[in-house]
A and B are shown apart, each in its own frame.
Chain A
Amino acid sequence: MSLHLSHIRNWFLQSPPAEWALHRIRELLIGALRQGPIPQHVAFVMDGNRRFAKTHHIETVEGHNLGFEALAKVLEVCYKSGVKVVTIYAFSIENFNRSKYEVDALMEMARVKLVQLAQHGDLLDRYGACVRVLGQRDLVKPDVLEAIDRAVAMTSHNTKAVLNVCFPYTSRNEITTAIRDTVVSYNKPTRPTLKRPFSETHITRNIRAAQLSTVVEESPSPEPQDVSRTQSPLEESDKDNEHDSIASSSTLNVSTTSTNPSATHKHRDSLPDPESIDVSILDSHMFTADNPPLDLLVRTSGVERLSDFMLWQCHENTTIVFLSCLWPEFDLWYFLPVLLEWQWNQKKHEEAGRGRQRIKSG
Chain B
Amino acid sequence: MRSFLKTQLHFLTFTLVHFIFSLYIRFRKAYHSVLDRVCAILYYHHRTPEYIHKDVKQLSRLPAHLSVVLELDDDEHSGAGLSSLVSDLAELAAWTACAGIPLLSVYEPSGVLKNYIPQTHRSISETLASYYGPSHPGKPTLSIRAPHLPSFSPPTTPPGTAESGAEGSSPPHLTILLLSAEDGRSTLVDLTKTLAEMAQRQKLSPADVSAELIDAEISESVMGEPDLLVLFGPRVILKGYPPWQMRLTEIFHVPDNEGVNYQVFIRALFRYAKAQMRFGR
Q: Is the CB of A175 within 8 A of B195?
A: no
Whether a CB of chain A sits under 8 angstroms from the CB of B280 is yes
Given A35-B11, A186-B199, A344 and B192 contact (CB-CB distance below 8 Å) = no
* Chain B interfacial positions (CB closer than 8 Å to A): 6, 9-11, 13-14, 17-18, 21-22, 25, 184-186, 188-189, 191-197, 199-204, 206-207, 209-211, 214-215, 235-244, 246-252, 271, 275, 278-281
Query: In the complex, which residues of chain B have a beta carbon less than 8 angstroms from the beta carbon of A290?
Result: none
Interface residues of A in 129-177 (CB under 8 A from B): 171-173, 175-176
Query: In the complex, which residues of chain B have a beta carbon less than 8 angstroms from the beta carbon of A98?
Result: 280-281
Cα distance, A183 to B202, chains bound together (Å)? 12
Whether a CB of chain B sits under 8 angstroms from the CB of A340 is yes
Q: Jot down 11 A-B pairs with beta carbons below 8 A, ordered by A.
A: A95-B280, A172-B215, A172-B244, A176-B214, A183-B209, A184-B206, A239-B202, A304-B250, A320-B236, A320-B238, A344-B18
* Chain A interfacial positions (CB closer than 8 Å to B): 28-29, 31-36, 92, 94-95, 97-98, 171-173, 175-176, 179-180, 182-184, 186-187, 239, 242-243, 246, 257, 268, 271, 274-275, 277-279, 282, 303-308, 311-312, 314-322, 337, 340-341, 343-345
Q: Is the CB of B248 within 8 A of A308?
A: yes
Query: In the complex, which residues of chain B have a beta carbon less than 8 angstroms from the beta carbon of A246?
Result: 201-203
Query: In the complex, which residues of chain A have a beta carbon less than 8 angstroms from the beta carbon of B201?
Result: 242, 246, 257, 268
| Chain A residue at minimal CB-CB distance from B195 | A183
Q: Is the CB of B186 within 8 A of A279?
A: yes
Q: Is the CB of A183 within 8 A of B206?
A: yes
Query: In the complex, which residues of chain A have a beta carbon less than 8 angstroms from the beta carbon of B14?
Result: 32-33, 35-36
Q: Is the CB of B214 within 8 A of A175?
A: yes
Q: Is the CB of B236 within 8 A of A315?
A: no
Q: Which of A180, A182, A186 contacts B200 (CB 8 A)?
A: A186
Q: Which of B22, B185, B188, B281 contacts A344 (CB 8 A)?
A: B22
Query: In the complex, which residues of chain A have a beta carbon less than 8 angstroms from the beta carbon of B252?
Result: 304
Query: In the complex, which residues of chain B have a beta carbon less than 8 angstroms from the beta carbon of A33?
Result: 14
Cα distance, A95 to B279, chains bound together (Å)? 8
Given A246-B202, A277-B193, A307-B248, A314 and B25 contact (CB-CB distance below 8 Å) = no
Query: In the complex, which residues of chain B have a beta carbon less than 8 angstroms from the beta carbon of A321?
Result: 236
Cα distance, A184 to B200, chains bound together (Å)? 9
Given A279-B189, A307-B279, A29 and B13 contact (CB-CB distance below 8 Å) = yes
| Chain B residue at minimal CB-CB distance from A306 | B246
Cα distance, A31 to B186, chains bound together (Å)? 41
| Chain A residue at minimal CB-CB distance from B197 | A274
Given A94-B280, A183-B195, A343-B18, A304 and B202 contact (CB-CB distance below 8 Å) = no
Q: Is the CB of A282 within 8 A of B238?
A: no
CB distance from A270 to the nearest CB of B (A): 10
CB distance from B236 to the nearest CB of A (A): 4
Given A29-B17, A186-B199, A307-B279, A179 and B10 contact (CB-CB distance below 8 Å) = no
Q: A35-B11, A275-B193 are in contact. List 19 more A-B contacts (CB 8 A).
A: A28-B10, A32-B10, A32-B11, A176-B214, A179-B214, A183-B204, A246-B201, A274-B194, A279-B189, A282-B192, A304-B271, A304-B275, A315-B240, A315-B241, A320-B237, A341-B25, A343-B18, A344-B18, A344-B22
Query: In the complex, which residues of chain A have a beta carbon less than 8 angstroms from the beta carbon of B186?
Result: 279
| Residue among B18, B184, B242 with the highest chain A CB neighbour number at 10 A | B18
Query: In the complex, which residues of chain A have a beta carbon less than 8 angstroms from the beta carbon of B246?
Result: 306, 311, 315
Cα distance, A25 to B178, chains bound together (Å)? 51
Cα distance, A242 to B238, chains bound together (Å)? 45
Query: In the complex, which residues of chain B have a beta carbon less than 8 angstroms from the beta carbon of A187?
Result: 196, 199-200, 206
Query: In the complex, which residues of chain B have a beta carbon less than 8 angstroms from the beta carbon of A306?
Result: 246-249, 251
Q: Is the CB of A305 within 8 A of B18?
A: no
Q: Is the CB of B247 within 8 A of A316?
A: no
| Residue among B246, B248, B281 with the highest chain A CB neighbour number at 10 A | B246
Q: Is the CB of B6 within 8 A of A315?
A: no
CB distance from B1 to the nearest CB of A (A): 17
Q: Which of A94, A317, A344 contacts B279 (CB 8 A)?
A: A94
Cα distance, A314 to B275, chains bound together (Å)? 23
Query: In the complex, which residues of chain A have a beta carbon less than 8 angstroms from the beta carbon of B244?
Result: 172, 175, 311
| Chain A residue at minimal CB-CB distance from B12 | A32
Query: In the complex, which residues of chain B have a beta carbon less than 8 angstroms from the beta carbon of A183?
Result: 192, 195-196, 199, 204, 206, 209
CB distance from B49 to the nearest CB of A (A): 28
